[in-house]
Amino acid sequence: MNVSRLSFEGITKEFPGVKALSSVSFEIAPGEIHALLGENGAGKSTLLKILSGVYRPTAGDVRVDGVAQAFRNPDDARRAGIAMIHQELQQVPNLTVAQNMFLGNSITTLGGLVVKRREQERRAAEVLSMIDPGIDPSQPISSLRVAQRQVVEIARALLNKARIVAMDEPTSSLTPAEFDRLADIIRGLSASGVAVIYVSHKLDEVFSVCQRASVMRDGQLVGIADLASTRPDQVVAMMVGRELANEQHQSFRTEEVTMSLSGVSTQRIRNVSFDLHRGEVLGIAGLVGAGRSEVLRAIGGVDRITSGTVTLRGKPLSISRPRDAINAGIGFLPEERKREGIIPGRSVTSNVALASLPAFSRGGIIQHSRVRKTAETLLQRVNLRPFLLDRPIRLFSGGNQQKAIIARWLAAGSKFLLFDEPTRGIDIGAKSEIYRLIEQLAKEGHSVIVVSSELPEIIRLSDRVLIMRDGAVAAELARHELNEETIVAHAVGTASGKSGREEQFNV
């Protein structure tokens, strides 16, 4: 069998004014698990959209088992045996597992008028039993966890006898334990001859599941790596086109205490106390659900504090809504920027100015020239090229959106910056830029708290780390005590110093 299951031959895609892909060629063998890597904007999505029939290539061929395909729409691609599993699962929450699996393809009787639900559920159960017998085909999709919903999507692919399964960021909301399960399922697919395309930002996962990787940059294929003989940093270098400097932690921590929490509790956290210093970057680690983000949300006025006090420079502060925190100089940068950070349709400038409009107004009228000047200066400071600032912020990358939100708090004069997962959804190149910005903020005398699931990130940034467990602070580690094993041990409660389960960490 020398025929590739899937081959791209000279795929080029042009949009008006933009060449999104230029002459991309690579092949995937039956049963191969192939990673597709690249920064945001490298062209991965465009390629997947061509594979799934959403776009038609300007030039080049997609071949399945050697046969050139001309997909006119996603349905054609599905019929050719291609299944896409999207990052945001496309399922109807109120329908059952089986109904979702047969959506658009129902088994019917009486000339298509009546759906044979029993029959659908029986066949769904058959397929599910091969990968996750715990899922009942008659339960509604909304009652499943994200990981299980993903399994349903894979089962659907199997049901359609897919020969090629493309997964776009399948693990972005999975815990590592769930990832392990998914990895087993993927290996099962591969063993049955299905070719898998795996798109992910998480290199550790790529290295543990995939055999080869195609790396894209600026719409071109820059190389194909055999992962067994390649190091992650080599792959990163291919992706970003330069070696990421191996950066060292820098500390600007002073002895001056600027913020103290004493016995702060909310519905989700209990009795949290700590001091934050001027120029300090305080890391907060812990398992997902341990209450890390909730500490920030309490200080930021998003969650209600039920007891305890927050003291700023010796003065107790009463926070009952975000505005109170903002007025006290606290800026909260939420994890889900799309949901809680940006106003998508508004310009970058508007987004930057949003928290400090009264200060930019005279006689009730916003002085737009002043807003603009301030925004330009600040955006330069955070390294966001100060042009096209009138464009809606949703058109910018995650990294640039994050920079705009940093600028928002600088505009509001915030002295305390609370980052919840500062680099979530931000590509590798922009990550280190955000790190340098956080250090720059600390150097300028801001006090920073960083919550992160990524231990290398916590260790790279923090002068000190608090570890949360079950809503309370379980441990505090000084800079010199920081290593991944110790943090994990405290997070899971086996603090003998031995590495515990690395569950829910992206080590």
Tokens 């309370």 found at: 472
CB-count burial class (<10 Å; 0-12, 13-18, 19+) for 501: middle
In contact, 160 and 78? CB cutoff 8 Å: yes
**Interatomic CA distance for residues 375 and 384, integer angstroms:** 10
Shortest Cβ 214–other proteins spacing (Å): 14
**Interatomic CA distance for residues 483 and 477, integer angstroms:** 9
Shortest Cβ 91–other proteins spacing (Å): 19
Shortest Cβ 454–other proteins spacing (Å): 19
Specify the residue, 384 or 465, whose C-beta has the smaller distance to other proteins: 384
In contact, 477 and 463? CB cutoff 8 Å: no
Q: How far is CA 435 from the centre of its chain?
A: 16
Sheet with 67-69, edge to edge strand ranges: 18-28, 6-15, 59-64, 67-69
Specify the residue, 416 or 505, whose C-beta has the smaller distance to other proteins: 416
Shortest Cβ 347–other proteins spacing (Å): 5
Specify the residue, 225 or 411, whose C-beta has the smaller distance to other proteins: 411
Shortest Cβ 475–other proteins spacing (Å): 29
Specify the residue, 114 or 388, whose C-beta has the smaller distance to other proteins: 388
Q: 21 - beta bridge partners?
A: 13
Shortest Cβ 382–other proteins spacing (Å): 14
Strands (E), 139-237: 164-168, 195-199, 212-217, 220-226
Specify the residue, 47 or 194, whose C-beta has the smaller distance to other proteins: 47
Specify the residue, 158 or 451, whose C-beta has the smaller distance to other proteins: 451
Where on the chain is the footprint of other proteins (CB under 8 A)? 15, 17-18, 38-46, 87, 168-169, 199, 300, 302, 321-323, 325-327, 332, 334, 339-347, 350, 353-355, 357-358, 361, 364-366, 368, 385, 387-388, 390-392, 395-397, 400, 408, 412, 427
Shortest Cβ 309–other proteins spacing (Å): 21
**Interatomic CA distance for residues 284 and 295, integer angstroms:** 9
- B/e letters for 465-486, b = 16+ CB within 10 Å, e = fewer, are bbbbbebebbbebeeeebebeb
Shortest Cβ 326–other proteins spacing (Å): 4
In this structure, which amino acid lies at residue 262?
S
Specify the residue, 168 or 178, whose C-beta has the smaller distance to other proteins: 168
- Provide the CB-side half-sphere exposure for 487 (13 A, CA): 31
Shortest Cβ 17–other proteins spacing (Å): 6
Specify the residue, 283 or 300, whose C-beta has the smaller distance to other proteins: 300
Specify the residue, 189 or 426, whose C-beta has the smaller distance to other proteins: 426
What is the length of the chain? Answer: 507
In contact, 473 and 272? CB cutoff 8 Å: yes
End-to-end CA distance of the chain: 38
Shortest Cβ 329–other proteins spacing (Å): 12
- B/e letters for 350-374, b = 16+ CB within 10 Å, e = fewer, are bbbbebbeeebeeeeeeeeeebbeb
Token pair in block for residue 109:
């009787």
Shortest Cβ 303–other proteins spacing (Å): 11
- Provide the CB-side half-sphere exposure for 435 (13 A, CA): 24
Strands 361-362 and 108-109: unpaired
Specify the residue, 405 or 438, whose C-beta has the smaller distance to other proteins: 405
Count other Cβ atoms within 10 Å, centred on residue 119: 15
Shortest Cβ 45–other proteins spacing (Å): 4
Token pair in block for residue 322:
């975000």
Specify the residue, 284 or 412, whose C-beta has the smaller distance to other proteins: 412
Shortest Cβ 395–other proteins spacing (Å): 6
User: Which are the contacts of 229, defined by CB distance < 8 A and separation ≥ 6?
Assistant: none
Specify the residue, 59 or 343, whose C-beta has the smaller distance to other proteins: 343
User: Which are the contacts of 314, defined by CB distance < 8 A and separation ≥ 6?
Assistant: none
**Interatomic CA distance for residues 127 and 133, integer angstroms:** 9
Specify the residue, 361 or 494, whose C-beta has the smaller distance to other proteins: 361
Q: How far is CA 493 from the centre of its chain?
A: 27
